[in-house]
Amino acid sequence: MRHLISILVENEAGALSRISGLFSARGYNIESLTVAPTEDASMSRMTIVTSGSDDVVEQITKQLNKLIDVVKVVDLSEAEHIERELMLIKVRAGQKEREDMKRMADIFRGRIIDVSDNTYTIELTGDGRKLDAFIQALDQGTIIETVRTGTSGIGRGNRILRV
Amino acid sequence: MDRVKASALSGAEIVVRCLQEEAVEYVFGYPGGAVLFIYDELFKQDKVKHVLVRHEQGAVHAADGYSRSSQKVGVALVTSGPGVTNAVTGIATAYMDSIPMVVITGQVPTHAIGLDAFQECDTVGITRPIVKHNMLVKDVKDLATAMKKAFHIATTGRPGPVVIDIPKDVTAAVTEYHYPETVAMRSYNPVRKGHAGQIRKAVQLLSEAQRPMIYTGGGVILSDSSELLRELVKLTGFPCTNTLMGLGSYPATDKQFLGMPGMHGTYECNNAMQHSDVLLAIGARFDDRVIGNPAHFASNPRKIIHIDIDPSSISKRVKVDVPIVGNIPDVLDELIKLLRAAPKTDIKPWGKQIEEWRAKDCLKYDRSSKIIKPQFVLEKLYEITKGDAFVTSDVGQHQMWAAQFYKFDKPRRWINSGGLGTMGFGLPAAMGAQMANPGATVACVTGESSIQMCLQELSTCKQYRLPIKIVNLNNKYMGMVRQWQQFFHGNRYSESYMDALPDFVKLAEGYGHRGILVEKPADVEPALREAFANKKELYFLDFITDQTENVYPMIPGGKGNTEMILSEDL
């Protein structure tokens, strides 16, 4: 089963490698990992998308909690939550394709953020499935380059992860 | 000097002052370029004594043996680069067995880090998966706090080694020194008290159990809960086993003790583990060498109560019914209090069943042999030291025989590398144990293969006049490898024969020690008596033992606890 694990971690040198190292050392999957500082500069927030049986995910959260730099861990996928990912995708957009490409971006509520003679760069946010769907919807030959941030998540309503 | 009064000190002075603040008695180490300033400060004082080893692996094992035999923190000091990489085996050994240790490592100057400087390695990166925590101190202002944190983290919660990496320029830089009394960390607050509701559930299960069993590991020793365990076993009348890491927490001479569980555990113990209806696990981790195949273990339904300070040890390999996360003494205190008032079930039929298993006498061996049987040497060792020695071991057959035949009645007397299984551990660990317990009898049970892995420390033993007794069970084979090859690889003894062995007696004498070659069973006792009567000198006792002797019982890898191979004599 897919799980979205959110981690608050001290903003110390090497904290990221402790966490990624734990996953590789114990053979846990990482589908994606995102990290950036929070409003409190002394802490970073990390979202890891992983998959495994309930037993494995229980071990993952326990092992993460055991790391000295880790302040808090929560499995967001245990309850209602929102997840988002940002994608930048560069597509072929010559005179012939321009109109179509613009329309596709609009349908998916993407924004064209860079234009050249023969390319568009489109910015798109949503959950992973929406980004996948956009890629699927395009003529594969028109895709030049994609870059995705990986998933970030937050609990709904009163589900809060902070110190 | 007043603890709180600030004064300007160099990083190196701060390191030594912090060690003094922590009442560190011995530092085991080896100097080198990156730690020269620290060594200079050690030279200028005499509170913290330095023990010069002959290889950094020895330093860390010695600090480890010091800690295991004394409940104090082990401290090692090594230089950058090769100093660190040599120490890695020692750090991993301590990590696997949860030993509280602080390892101070020198690093190249901060401006040189990342430039492939002479004797540079990524210490924090290399040691990351084998430490409880590690840190690189880049600013001398952070040094005192980092040292305090290192000792705090190493000794609290589930203990473990902490590496503190200090660049050379940081040891030279000067700052106001203030050693914090305490250190608060929002990300690290180990629990103490167990959950009251869970403890009540445990009491309920225990008081209704028909076939109860108490199974305890290294955690009972690490948390100094041996007395409470004895109280619990006495109070309940339940049978008890200690794992390889837990031997001595319950007296091996008591009839409620069933011997060790697991791969080379006793017949009665493995059967009782398998057929119990309520299993109380305390500070143990259901290791693969203890329960064998988890599916086979689970095939007999039983309720499991698990007390441990580390939540990640619970339900890792075996699903637990009543997890109790907490500090063992705190939890046992509560548990004993409640059990006193709880009703008791008649467990006599269970006791009878256990006695039937025990009657199998699974550790029986040929006592009439003309060749020295290793088991015989250990029985004699037990007899002559009156069961009161600190016994360290290396890894292999000799380790298992020592665990089976030396009846440990006290905690911290049995010192071995259980988790990592590090050959070469025994001699340096014995040095640490002897340092921590001057005047005590310290024996290193080893084999001709293991002893050669840290043999250079014989020189350290001479320098510090450590009267360790080395009991070398010499069968000219890596015995445990040979045993597996006999059982599982068609008697093809691939590279397990130890050819070109040195004359160990001459070797010991070369280092300034005494040595005795023992080739006949009748000479075993006199040799041991001579060696142990001598309180001043190290003895290397080279026992030429039966090459074909195997450790029984044995559970083959991947098999279940009751699928033991027993000795052919049974």
Please report the ipTM that was assigned to this predicted complex.
0.93
| Cα(B76)–Cα(B86) distance, integer angstroms | 12
Structural domain boundaries enclosing B339: 196-358
Residue B369 lies in a domain: no
Instruction: Please tell me which of the candidates A12, A62, A71 has its beta carbon nearest to residue B186.
Output: A71
- Residues B126, B15 share a domain: yes
| Cα(B422)–Cα(B393) distance, integer angstroms | 10
Instruction: Please tell me which of the candidates B125, B128, B311 has its beta carbon nearest to residue A62.
Output: B311
The DSSP secondary-structure symbol of B429 reads H
Distances from the Cα of B117 to the Cαs of A85, B24, B78, B335, B534, in angstroms?
Answer: 41, 32, 17, 56, 49
| Cα(A120)–Cα(A140) distance, integer angstroms | 15
What is the residue-level pLDDT of chain B in tens, covering all 570 positions? 444 556 899 999 999 999 999 999 999 999 999 999 999 999 999 999 999 999 999 999 999 999 999 999 999 999 999 999 999 999 999 999 999 999 999 999 999 999 999 999 999 999 999 999 999 999 999 999 999 999 999 999 999 999 999 999 999 999 999 999 999 999 999 999 999 999 999 999 999 999 999 999 999 999 999 999 999 999 999 999 999 999 999 999 999 999 999 999 999 999 999 999 999 999 999 999 999 999 999 999 999 999 999 999 999 999 999 999 999 999 999 999 999 999 999 999 999 999 999 999 999 999 999 999 999 999 999 999 999 999 999 999 999 999 999 999 999 999 999 999 999 999 999 999 999 999 999 999 999 999 999 999 999 999 999 999 999 999 999 999 999 999 999 999 999 999 999 999 999 999 999 999 999 999 999 999 999 999 999 999 999 999 999 999 999 999 999 999 999 877
| Cα(B46)–Cα(B39) distance, integer angstroms | 12
Angstroms from A102 CA to nearest CA on chain B: 47
Whether B128 and chain A come into contact, CB under 8 Å, resolves to: yes
Rounded (5°) CA angle A60-A64-A68: 160
Q: In the listed set A28, A61, A79, which residue is the last one of a domain according to the structure?
A: A79
- Residues A88, A68 share a domain: no
Contact B339, B203 (CB under 8 A): yes
Contact B230, B277 (CB under 8 A): no
Q: In the listed set B358, B390, B413, which residue is the last one of a domain according to the structure?
A: B358
CATH number for the domain that contains residue A95:
3.30.70.1150
pLDDT of A144: 97
Q: In the listed set A53, A79, A105, which residue is the last one of a domain according to the structure?
A: A79
B352 counts as catalytic: no
Q: Do A66 and B129 touch (CB under 8 A)?
A: no
**For residue A21, what pLDDT band results from cuts at 50, 70 and 90?**
very high
pLDDT of B260: 98
Give the relative orientation of helices B426-436 and B56-68 as an angle to the nearest 10 degrees. 50
- Residues A122, A110 share a domain: yes
Which of A62, A67, A162, A163 best tests the B interface by mutation, with the highest count of B CBs <10 A?
Answer: A62
- pLDDT tens-digit readout, A37-93: 999 999 999 999 999 999 999 999 999 999 999 999 999 999 999 999 999 999 999
Q: Does the pTM exceed 0.90?
A: yes
CATH number for the domain that contains residue B388:
3.40.50.970
The total of structural domains in chain A comes to 2
B128 contacts in A (CB within 8 Å)? Answer: 14, 17-18, 21
B311 contacts in A (CB within 8 Å)? Answer: 62, 65-66
Q: Do B312 and A18 touch (CB under 8 A)?
A: no
- Residues A92, A62 share a domain: no
- Residues A89, A75 share a domain: no
Residue B103: beta bridge partners?
A: B76, B163
| Cα(B290)–Cα(B292) distance, integer angstroms | 6
Residue B280 lies in a domain: yes
- Residues B308, B277 share a domain: yes
- Residues A103, A47 share a domain: no
Contact A91, A144 (CB under 8 A): yes
Q: Is B159 helix (H, G, I), strand (E, B) or coil?
A: coil
What are the backbone angles phi and psi of residue B266, rounded to the nearest 5°?
-80, 160
Residue A159 lies in a domain: no
Q: Is A46 helix (H, G, I), strand (E, B) or coil?
A: strand
Which of A68, A70, A162 best tests the B interface by mutation, with the highest count of B CBs <10 A?
Answer: A68
Could you write out the three-class secondary structure of B72-107? Answer: CCEEEEECCCHHHHHHHHHHHHHHHCCCCEEEEEEE
Q: In the listed set A33, A49, A79, which residue is the last one of a domain according to the structure?
A: A79
Helices (H) and strands (E) in chain A, counts: 4, 9
Contact A10, A42 (CB under 8 A): yes
| Cα(B168)–Cα(A81) distance, integer angstroms | 48
pLDDT higher at B496 or A96 = B496
Whether B163 and chain A come into contact, CB under 8 Å, resolves to: no
- Residues B158, B73 share a domain: yes
Q: Do B124 and A14 touch (CB under 8 A)?
A: yes
B185 contacts in A (CB within 8 Å)? Answer: 68
**Buried-exposed string B340-374: b where 16+ CB fall within 10 A, e elsewhere:** eebeeeebeebeebbeebbebebbebeeeeebbbb
Contact A44, A163 (CB under 8 A): no
Residue A19 lies in a domain: yes
B28 counts as catalytic: no
The CB density around residue B51, as the number of other CB atoms within 10 Å, is: 23
pLDDT of B570: 72
| Cα(B31)–Cα(B19) distance, integer angstroms | 17
- Residues A89, A55 share a domain: no
pLDDT of B5: 54
Contact B179, B21 (CB under 8 A): yes
- Residues A12, A63 share a domain: yes
pLDDT of A163: 87
Write out the residues of chain A at the interface with chain B, using a CB-CB cutoff of 8 A: 9-10, 12-14, 17-18, 21, 25, 55, 58-59, 62-63, 65-66, 68-71, 163
Instruction: Please tell me which of the candidates A25, A68, A71 has its beta carbon nearest to residue B133.
Output: A68
- Residues B280, B163 share a domain: no
Residue A97 lies in a domain: yes
- Residues A127, A97 share a domain: yes
Instruction: Please tell me which of the candidates A66, A71, A163 has its beta carbon nearest to residue B312.
Output: A66
Q: Does A14 have pLDDT greater than 70? A: yes
DSSP string spanning B484-499? Answer: HHHHHSTT--TT-B--
pLDDT of B545: 98
Contact A85, A151 (CB under 8 A): yes
- Residues A129, A92 share a domain: yes
- Residues B216, B144 share a domain: no
State the residue for tokens 């020269």.
B36
Q: Do A70 and B311 touch (CB under 8 A)?
A: no
Which of B113, B187, B316 best tests the A interface by mutation, with the highest count of A CBs <10 A?
Answer: B187
Residue B353 lies in a domain: yes
Q: Do A21 and B128 touch (CB under 8 A)?
A: yes
Size of interface A-B (CB pairs under 8 A): 38
pLDDT of A125: 98
| Cα(B461)–Cα(B203) distance, integer angstroms | 50
- Residues A107, A70 share a domain: no
- Residues A97, A75 share a domain: no
DSSP string spanning B327-393? Answer: -HHHHHHHHHHHHHHS-----HHHHHHHHHHHTT-TT---TT-SSBPHHHHHHHHHHHTTT-SEEEE
B480 counts as catalytic: yes
- Residues B122, B268 share a domain: no
- Residues B415, B538 share a domain: yes
Residue A101 lies in a domain: yes
Residue A89 lies in a domain: yes
CATH number for the domain that contains residue B289:
3.40.50.1220
pLDDT of B6: 62
Structural domain boundaries enclosing A92: 82-152
B56 counts as catalytic: yes
Say how many residues make up chain A.
Answer: 163
